[in-house]
Amino acid sequence: MAVLTASEPEATRSAATPWRNRAVDALIALLLPAALLLLWWTASDRGWLAEQILPHPIYVYQTLRDMIASGDLFYHIGVSLQRVLIGFCIGAGFGLVLGIAMGLSERVEDYVKPLFLAFAQIPTLGWIPLLMLLVGIGETLKIIVITKGALVPMTLNTFAGIRNVSPRYLEVARALRFSRWQTLRLVILPASIPFVFTGIRYGLTHAWTSLVGVELLASSEGLGYLLVWGRQMFWLDTVIIAMLAIGLIGFIMDGGLNRTERLIQRWKRNDI
Amino acid sequence: MAQTTSRAVRIRRGMTLPLLLLVLWEVSNRTGLVDPRFLPSLESVALTAKRELLGNDLIFDLLSSLARNLGGFLVGAVLGIAFATVLAMSPLAGRLVMPTFNGFKQISLLAWIPLISVWFGFGEQAKIVFVALACFIPVVLNTYDGMREAPKDLLEVGQALQFNARQRFLRIYLPSATPAIATGIHLGLIYSWLATVGAEYFLAVGPGIGGLVIAGRERFDMAMVMVGVVILGLVGFSLNRLAAVLESHLLRWRPPRTA
């Protein structure tokens, strides 16, 4: 099954190296952004870059301060986060139930999985116009789209997690004459937790991406709206700030879950 | 998992729900249970498909989308592999650039569209740039990781044999990174299709399946939207299958992975 795979930045190296090496690494990592900023700054100062192509960094900074002071930025962030949170909770909840049901029962899998895969095949972006006709462009649309974004990876990963429980564990459970319920509670569910976590992480990432998509197409508030609006008014400073906010929030969500996941994996490794 | 049920039974089970849904769809339509504007009859969807196919250049739309997809994909994949190779083979370049790259990749792809439309307009060029960007990111990440994981002993052998950069690339880095590159390209192909759809939605104008869907929505023509959406799904599915087949064919020399 195509459980979503993507590569991770290596993290194992830094664990063993002393803090001095890490400081050097961080310094090196900061060189390029600093150089880019400097380049951007001089290019704007000297007028190599038209204001409509890339506004002056100072100008972006001022807009950022204004937007923070007026509460605008945090208002839009709040709207977006709320949508993602609601949609993600619904999608992940359903995905967990569906994934467990398909994982435990071959019958459920046979009945549901082909249809589910067919639905999952159509990109979230593809559903948006169809849903717009069905439910309009209100809040419902956004929640449904985000729910779908979270549902698919959650279901597939949970399913894979349950199916990948090591046969050896199941043998032990059989030898100990566990009941079905005991096998489920003491063997299958704990063993599939790392997969579920992967599902949560991808689910949240997809929910966030879907949010940006749906807000770009139909919204009057939120970070995606800020992008469209800034674009229409040719306020590129607003566009850049919205992009940075989207990246930063995505980074924080992903990073937080990544850390939690690693904690869980450590438990898993010790277990074996 | 033991295969307890026969294939025929599994297929029958798999067909049950979709068929049930189709029957439900048709019945609710015949009995006037739902507004046909929201759920057009199967017949009218088929007729729309026929109309678009014969009268309105559906094939041309599809080919335009595919050409866009392929163009962006090729640009993104080639640039991505080259970029990642440079970064992976020079340790300093990797440490210098990768953190910034990882930062940029956090920005959701679609969020680039407004800026791209400012820089490149709404035409074909902007779409290709966007699709290429979508493909570039997973290709770079996977190629870079694959090359960084080139076996240390092979690198030592290379050092002993005084390989130059080209030899190191061709004999050590490229072969050991092939599976990772294949994964990257596979992901790149999927992402570039998503990006093609996105580009056609937001950078309107011009033929394409995405444009067809958007036009259907604007005309409140549900049948047309459905035809478009199904095609989007089918193309995505086919590309995915194609990538999987190519991947296993290209990697057939490798012993099966024990994951």
Q: Write out chain B residues lying below 8 Å of A235, CB-based.
A: none
A84 token code pair: 């993602």
Q: Hey, is the C-beta of A226 within 8 angstroms of any chain B C-beta?
A: no
Check whether A272 has a pLDDT greater than 50: no
What pLDDT sits at residue A14? 47
**CATH number of the domain to which B126 belongs:** 1.10.3720.10
Q: Hey, is the C-beta of B103 within 8 angstroms of any chain A C-beta?
A: yes
In a domain, residue B258? The reply is: no
Average pLDDT for B166-176: 86
CB contact under 8 A, A133 and B226: no
Q: Which residue has the higher pLDDT, A210 or A18?
A: A210
A-B CB pairs within 8 A amount to: 166
Q: Hey, is the C-beta of A130 within 8 angstroms of any chain B C-beta?
A: yes
CB contact under 8 A, A29 and B14: no
* Nearest-Cα residue of chain B relative to residue A135: B38
pLDDT in tens, B149-163: 888 888 888 888 888
In a domain, residue B95? The reply is: yes
Architecture of domain A55-271: Orthogonal Bundle (1.10)
Average pLDDT for B174-184: 89
In a domain, residue B259? The reply is: no
pLDDT in tens, A67-119: 999 999 999 999 999 999 999 999 999 999 999 999 988 889 999 999 998 88
Check whether B236 has a pLDDT greater than 50: yes
Q: Which helix (H) or strand (E) holds B16?
A: helix B7-30
3-state secondary structure A114-137: HHHHHHHHCCHHHHHHHHHHHHCC
What pLDDT sits at residue B83? 95
CB contact under 8 A, B14 and A111: yes
A209 token code pair: 């991406």
Q: Please spell the DSSP secondary structure of chain A, one letter per residue.
A: -----------HHHHHS-HHHHHHHHHHHHHHHHHHHHHHHHHHHHTSS-TTTS--HHHHHHHHHHHHHTTHHHHHHHHHHHHHHHHHHHHHHHHHHHHHHHHH-HHHHHHHHHHHHHHHHS-HHHHHHHHHHHHTTSHHHHHHHHHHHHHHHHHHHHHHHHHTS-HHHHHHHHHTT--HHHIIIIIIHHHHHHHHHHHHHHHHHHHHHHHHHHHHHS-SSSHHHHHHHHHHTT-HHHHHHHHHHHHHHHHHHHHHHHHHHHHHHHHHHHH-
Q: Hey, is the C-beta of A104 within 8 angstroms of any chain B C-beta?
A: no
A211: distance to nearest CA of chain B, Å?
A: 10
- The pTM (predicted TM-score) of the whole model is 0.85
- Please state, rounded to an integer, the average pLDDT across all residues of chain A: 86
Q: For chain A, which residues make up each domain, given as ranges? A: 55-271
- Beta strand extents in B79-227 (DSSP E only): none
> What are the distances in angstroms from CA B179 to CA A127, B142, B174, B250?
33, 9, 10, 9
In a domain, residue B257? The reply is: no
Which of residues 13 through 42 in chain A touch B, CB cutoff 8 A? 25, 28-33, 36
Which of residues 142 through 181 in chain B touch A, CB cutoff 8 A? 142, 144-145, 148, 180
Q: Which of B17, B104, B106, B186 to mutate to test the interface with A (most CBs of A within 10 A)?
A: B106
A238 token code pair: 């607003």
Average pLDDT for B32-55: 82
CB contact under 8 A, B14 and A113: yes
In a domain, residue B1? The reply is: no
Q: Which of B107, B108, B116 to mutate to test the interface with A (most CBs of A within 10 A)?
A: B108
* Nearest-Cα residue of chain A relative to residue B209: A126
Of A53-57, A206-210, A242-246, which range is least confident? A53-57
> What are the distances in angstroms from CA B131 to CA A228, B74, B75?
19, 10, 9
In a domain, residue B236? The reply is: yes
Count of structural domains within chain B: 1
pLDDT in tens, B48-57: 888 888 877 8
Average pLDDT for B82-107: 89
pLDDT in tens, A116-161: 988 888 888 889 999 998 898 889 999 999 999 999 999 999 999 9
Check whether A264 has a pLDDT greater than 90: no
In a domain, residue B180? The reply is: yes
- Tell me which residue in B96, B180, B222 faces A28 most closely, judged by beta carbons: B96
Q: CB under 8 Å, gap of 24 or more: what pairs does A4-7 form?
A: A4/A153, A4/A156, A4/A157, A4/A202, A5/B183, A5/B187, A6/B138, A6/B141, A6/B142, A6/B187, A7/B141, A7/B142, A7/B144, A7/B145, A7/B180, A7/B183, A7/B184
What pLDDT sits at residue B3? 53
Check whether A11 has a pLDDT greater than 50: no
CB contact under 8 A, B138 and A6: yes
- Please, which pLDDT band fits residue B1 given cuts at 50, 70 and 90? very low
User: CB count, 10 Å around CB of A234?
Assistant: 12
Its domain, for residue B139, covers: 41-250
Does residue B189 sit in helix, strand or coil? Answer: helix
Overall residue count recorded for chain A in this entry? 272
In a domain, residue B2? The reply is: no
Q: Write out chain B residues lying below 8 Å of A53, CB-based.
A: 118-119
Task: From A40, A54, A157, select the one nearest A96 (Cα to Cα).
Answer: A157
